[in-house]
Structure 1
């Protein structure tokens, strides 16, 4: 697996863990689901913390880039899971964020 693909896979996996785990805790508390939803959500959220350590970037850099990826993934989750209909401004914002992520993550640096 190339370093770029590996980086993207770890960010997407981290996003699924954070959003999915948070969602399970959310529906446990907000919708009265059984406690095991909350327990499973907490376990998945802890797994998110582990997955982020698999990044080759430093802590700060990994979380800066992940913040943008999280926003895009959360918008997709809201659209597919919560039936939220993104408007053109949501889509434009996600595109701008994606461009920013690519610039921060993949542009060569000269020091």
Structure 2
């Protein structure tokens, strides 16, 4: 993950030469754009945040899936309908948790 972050920093920064001076924006001549180095740092931090969020989401998803699988197996002794309901509800919980986790990190990143 760190190796890829370094690659993102180097390749993204080499496009504009790691400049630290503001330049006139190409899409609006009346505004000054942020320096290239600032954009590169933000891109690298965003990449790292996305990677960490993905790892945490995977870990939490596997924990919930393991627990839900055990509950589904126990409910399967009582009938297929109960097992299906438990499996379906746990899948919904995993989906909502992963989506909420990523939206929360995106919200925090944008506000910072």
Please classify the TM superposition score into its range, dividing by the shorter chain length. 0.3 to 0.5
Q: Structure 1 length normalisation: TM-score? A: 0.33
Larger radius of gyration: 2
Q: Structure 2 length normalisation: TM-score? A: 0.33
